[in-house]
Homo-oligomer: A and B are copies of this chain.
Amino acid sequence: MRASDLPEVRALGLFSSMEEKHFDALMEVAYLQTFPPQLDLIAEGDVADFLYIVVEGSVELFARSNGRESTMGLVRPVGTFILAAVLKDAVYLMSARTAQRSKILLIPSQNIREAFQQDAEFARAIVQELASCYRGVVKEHKNLKLRTAVERLANRLLRYHNDQGGNGSFELPHDKRTLASALGMTPENLSRAFNTLKPYGVEVEGSTIRLTDVNSMETLAKPNPLIDDRKT
């Protein structure tokens, strides 16, 4: 597989400033594979043999304990997952399965760690990516500890709405079961939370959501850049 096959991978923050030869070397040993939906990719507790990069489709990160299961995150193109485990040469803390048919790039952990040593720009990019991931989980954690279920849903809807152009209508990027788990609630409760939001201009039709009164939604949701901004 050639680097030129995957310009979007090369453009990833992680790789964009990397020296050509190091990037090529990484791609040399990488695997690009297509997986069917609902396929388990990794299981928590496994040793981190590969860094995963979602090129097409989407991947659900989840965790289990005590017979319970919860969605920890959703990775869409082009995004990486389990970078921390790879860098620490430790076991995965989360499991991952494809949500849709997905094209995924696997890079052996060992090579990632070598590239980190050899390429200072890559090292810097790794740190930036890792710091972003860290801040992402902190925000997720704040979201869960500081907001009620309805507030979490409202803010999530506002985010999706914004991501998809903010023109009053958008599609949920995954099924409601998964959304419920990601928001830390049951599917039944998600249904009820949608009903609670009806007076605030939220219209649900399958996976299409219409927001007819964004102002009133924002009054309720009180979005907070230190929780909701993807960038900072």
Which residues from chain A sit less than 8 Å from chain B, CB to CB? 44-45, 63-66, 68-70, 72, 83-85, 87-88, 90-91, 93-94, 116-117, 120, 123-124, 126-128, 130-135, 137-142, 144-147, 151, 184, 222, 224, 226-227, 232
Contact yes or no, B146 A70, CB < 8 A:
yes
State in angstroms the CA–CA spacing of A115 and B214 once bound together: 46
Cβ distance A179 to chain B, nearest Cβ, rounded Å: 14
State in angstroms the CA–CA spacing of A130 and B116 once bound together: 15
Contact yes or no, A226 B91, CB < 8 A:
yes
Cβ distance A222 to chain B, nearest Cβ, rounded Å: 6
Contact yes or no, A140 B141, CB < 8 A:
yes
Cβ–Cβ < 8 Å partners of A142 in chain B: 63, 65, 70, 72, 93
Cβ distance A141 to chain B, nearest Cβ, rounded Å: 5
Given contacts A88-B128, A146-B66, contact A139 B93 (CB under 8 A): yes
Cβ–Cβ < 8 Å partners of A184 in chain B: 145
Minimal Cβ-Cβ distance residue in B for A140: B141
Minimal Cβ-Cβ distance residue in B for A87: B131
Contact yes or no, A138 B88, CB < 8 A:
no
Cβ distance A231 to chain B, nearest Cβ, rounded Å: 9
Contact yes or no, A133 B134, CB < 8 A:
yes
Cβ distance A30 to chain B, nearest Cβ, rounded Å: 21
Q: List 30 A-B contacts (CB under 8 A).
A: A65-B142, A65-B146, A65-B227, A66-B146, A72-B138, A84-B130, A84-B131, A84-B138, A85-B131, A87-B128, A88-B131, A88-B132, A90-B232, A91-B232, A93-B135, A93-B138, A93-B139, A93-B226, A94-B138, A116-B127, A117-B120, A120-B123, A123-B123, A123-B127, A126-B127, A127-B127, A130-B130, A130-B134, A134-B134, A144-B145
State in angstroms the CA–CA spacing of A140 and B72 once bound together: 12
State in angstroms the CA–CA spacing of A133 and B135 once bound together: 10
Cβ–Cβ < 8 Å partners of A144 in chain B: 141, 144-145
